[in-house]
Amino acid sequence: MRIITANVNGIRAAEKKGFFDWMKRQRADVICLQETKAQEHQLEANDYHPKGYHSYFFDAEKKGYSGVALYCRQEPDAVRTGLGWDHCDTEGRWIEADFGNITVVSLYLPSGSTSEERHANKLDFMDKLRAEMKKMRRRKREYVITGDFNTVHKEIDIRNFKSNRKNSGCTDEERQWMDDVLNKDGWVDAFREVVKGPDQYTWWSNRGNARANNVGWRIDYQLVTPGLGDKVKKASVYKEKWFSDHAPLTIDYDI
């Protein structure tokens, strides 16, 4: 089972940069997109509905903002959107699909970098999300929560750690949340099951020469329930062509 997650920073912009042509060549079973920045009625063209894929969208109420999507080669048993609170549901930040005993999620966790208020909202979102993830662990299902978490975990996951520790996405509180989710709640960072080394990033600032110098952040994840932890076979970050300020993360599971 091959799963790709990608923050496309505008699905229409990514399409113009060749994202769907690339996607079709990957033969992925599920492609999880974040920050689609479009309403579903704006995506009626065949360009956004590749042959051989079932597509599902969950849009933000605000036009041109946020939004998540799933592209699935196999028609899911069920698709659900939202988690029941305003910041998640009105901003289009969660969509999930069931395939047998496995649920695959596309999550766009908020950024808190624009203001102290947004950072506080992000922390509240994270608290609510962790409570939901604890409920998931009690169910007799396997989960793959993919997406842009807007949060690094460890010092190895960001090039300039010391200078960013007070910035949203790298604060001690956010990294502790990630630590608790993985080490206390039992979720598994699928990428780190097979890739241990440094300088592995999925997002780069558009300022300066961040991308050219690989001054990045690893903020895109696939977090899985323990039953899938030993099923991770291969992980890669695609950087040969750029579709947005994020790079797609592909993970192959022995399922």
Residue 208 has pLDDT above 90, yes or no: no
CATH of the domain at 21: 3.60.10.10
Residue 43 has pLDDT above 90, yes or no: yes
Q: Look up tokens 């060749």; give the residue.
A: 18
From CA 252, how far away is CA 90, in angstroms rounded?
32
Half-sphere exposure of 62 (CA within 13 A, CB side): 10
For the chain, give the percent of residues with pLDDT over 90: 98
The H or E element that residue 20 is part of is helix 19-26
Tell me 128's DSSP state. Answer: H
Q: 102-160: per-residue pLDDT in tens?
A: 999 999 999 998 899 999 999 999 999 999 999 999 999 999 999 999 999 999 999 99
Q: Give the pLDDT confidence score for residue 73 in this predicted structure.
A: 98
* Mean pLDDT (whole number) for 163-173: 96
Q: Give the pLDDT confidence score for residue 249 in this predicted structure.
A: 98
Residues forming the active site: 148
From CA 230, how far away is CA 246, in angstroms rounded?
27
111: tokens are: 């950024």
Residue 58 has pLDDT above 90, yes or no: yes
Q: State which residues form the domain around 111.
A: 2-253
CA distances, 197 to each of 76, 128, 155, 206 (Å): 35, 31, 12, 24
Q: How many domains does the chain have?
A: 1
Calculate the average pLDDT of the chain: 97
